[in-house]
Structure 1
Amino acid sequence: MWLRYPCRLCHVHPVEPLPPGLYIVATPIGNLGDLSTRARDVLARADLIAVEDSRVTGGLLHHLGLKRPMQPYHDHNADAVRPGLVARLGQEAVALVSDAGTPLISDPGYKLVREARAAGHAVVTIPGPCAAVAALTLAGLPTDRFLFLGFLPSKAGARATAIAEVSGVRATLVLYESGPRLAACLSALAHGLGDREAAVTREITKHFEEAVTGTLSTLATRYAGTGPPRGEIVVVVAPPGPPAPISPEDGDVALAEALTRLSAARAAGEVAKRLGLDRRLLYARALALKEPAQG
């Protein structure tokens, strides 16, 4: 005779336990419907969930009808908590989650993964939502190469330095920002990168999801004239345009500098590699530059 309802024992233990190890679980960035079936299964079966904020993850677990032990793991306590988590991985399944999206993206999770691997424990990823990648799909900018910058520094000088470091990178830039800092960030990007095309994406996967596109200066003016936008914000910036062609004068300047350090042959090779010019022509020019001036 078939049982119409599960037995009491089956209700207490509905699933097999997970093998011990670290499980990196991506959670929704807004729409709870984006949680994968596999992610829910791992959360339901994990012995412990390492969380960024127990209130946030507790709300997700309540929505799923789950109750699991949680351990806060975030920037302020990671160094103290990490050894204990690693020690438990030999006997228990520990799921790592962030407040939203994929763990390790702009959070301290990578150190836990590194130490778990060094200790010989299994590490499994359960991929899913990621705000940076979702913003790329909305922005309408090149996606073949991109560089994720996380959050830029809040102080103007450090922010300008960080922007200068990536100004020549030939890839789409993706960064996170908060509403109150958005206008200043866009203005700094316009100043440091030039007036590139960009997009400000907000509330991704939620009811008021939007992607506002335009040049950096236009976007900076737009958000400076309104109150700080709400929600999680991702800024996407187009790569730089094609470089200006190298002139013979540029080659001479580079050669003259290189000749102060190198022989004519080595100077020609260095400049040819750096500027993409013909090495033989550069070598002939280097010899001419080295000739003593005729009286």
Structure 2
Amino acid sequence: MNESTHHTPLFPALYVVATPIGNLGDITLRALDILQRVDRIAAEDTRVSGQLLAHFNISRPLMSVREHNEREAAEGVIARIVAGDAIAYVSDAGTPAISDPGARLVAAVRAAGLRVVPIPGVSAVTAALSVAGIESGDWLFHGFPPPKAGARRAQLQALARLPCALVFYEAPHRIEETLADMAAVFDDARQVTLARELTKRFETIVTLPLGEAPAWLAADPNHVRGEFVVVVHAPAAATAASDAEALRVLEILAADLPPPLAAKLAAKITGRTKAELYQMTLARK
């Protein structure tokens, strides 16, 4: 069956469709084709998605599937797919289920034995990484840090010595606090790329030492506006060598032991904390 023509009906499934994060020109031809041909579009916010669809002259029935009703709404989506419908799911911007609603819906549809089809496209995390210059190619996506200071610092502490770049999302009203915590917890000479308002009119991308990031934000009121992707580059070589030895010990133990126990024993051998070694275990997966 060839799905590329408008005359061929789509098979019953959930189509997870990436949409632009700012520049509407970033939508893919395949996304437009799918959105035009599905029976119904499930959306995180029907008002936001309605504007996008109107821009491209697409008129399809909309249903709300947002974070607070996702489990219940999934039942309605499943019933429609079982009845033979093709349903698209879109979040407000970017790729659904990447620090956005959608994961619960996808899990429920798959658990029901139904097909889920990715329609790839824009993602803020990959857009930021493409311009950050992470030469090793090793990175861990963390999403949004905890909003409360204590929990945020504890989580950053656990991630601090991972031998890879760390990628976070952050909202404008918390970016100053988060970068101040990162500068305090991580090595303040460690490089960070701040990608603000990606693909939009006031897109800004800057790379500088973490210790200088708070001053950069304070230098211009516009610097704290808009959504951020924060890419903390990998630790310096000396730290990386220490991390490599810790990983070597961890991998030997993890081959025969469950991750929590491997991390506990590796902590005793290397002097590192159990929390950061356990994070290393998860990152290696």
Q: TM-score, normalised by structure 1?
A: 0.76
Structure 2: which 5+ residue stretches go unaligned?
Answer: 1-5, 243-264, 271-285
- What is the alpha-carbon distance in structure 2 between the residues aligned to residue 102 and residue 197 of structure 1? 27
1:70 to 46, 53, 62: 62
Structure 1: which 5+ residue stretches go unaligned?
Answer: 1-13, 247-269, 276-295
1:54 is aligned to 2:52: no
Moved more, 43-52 or 215-224: 215-224
User: Post-superposition shift, 1:142?
Assistant: 3.5
Give per-residue Cα distances to partners, 1:131-180, cap 9 Å, x unaligned.
Answer: 00100112223451111111111111011011112112111111111112
User: Post-superposition shift, 1:28?
Assistant: 0.8
- What is the alpha-carbon distance in structure 1 between the residues aligned to residue 7 and residue 128 of structure 2? 36
- Residue 242 of structure 1 is matched in structure 2 by 237
1:20 to 1, 8, 12: 12
Which letter maps to 1:239? A
In structure 2, the CA distance between the partners of 1:111 and 1:17, relative to structure 1 (3 Å rule), is: same
1:156 is aligned to 2:149: yes
Give per-residue Cα distances to partners, 1:198-223, cap 9 Å, x unaligned.
Answer: 01111211232220111112111221
- What is the alpha-carbon distance in structure 1 between the residues aligned to residue 66 and residue 120 of structure 2? 20
* Counterpart contact for 2:165–2:232, Cα < 8 Å: yes
- Residue 22 of structure 2 is matched in structure 1 by 30
Which letter maps to 2:194? V
* Counterpart contact for 1:183–1:221, Cα < 8 Å: no
User: Post-superposition shift, 1:274?
Assistant: 5.2
1:81 is aligned to 2:76: no
1:99 to 72, 92, 107: 92
Query: Aligned to 2:226, what secondary structure does the other structure show?
Result: coil
- What is the alpha-carbon distance in structure 1 between the residues aligned to residue 187 and residue 70 of structure 2? 38
* Counterpart contact for 2:71–2:104, Cα < 8 Å: no
- What is the alpha-carbon distance in structure 1 between the residues aligned to residue 46 and residue 123 of structure 2? 20
2:191 to 197, 207, 217: 197
1:121 is aligned to 2:114: yes
- What is the alpha-carbon distance in structure 1 between the residues aligned to residue 79 and residue 157 of structure 2? 42
Give per-residue Cα distances to partners, 1:75-107, cap 9 Å, x unaligned.
Answer: 111122121112222221111111111111012
CA RMSD of aligned residues (A): 2.0
Give per-residue Cα distances to partners, 1:17-48, cap 9 Å, x unaligned.
Answer: 31101101011111111111110000001111
- Counting only pairs closer than 5 Å after superposition, residues 120-269 of structure 1 correspond to structure 2 as 120-142=113-135, 144-195=137-188, 196-227=190-221, 229-243=224-238
Question: Percent identity between the aligned chains?
Answer: 45
Q: Which runs of 4+ in 1 moved over 6 A?
A: none
Q: TM-score, normalised by structure 2?
A: 0.78
Structure number, greater radius of gyration: 1
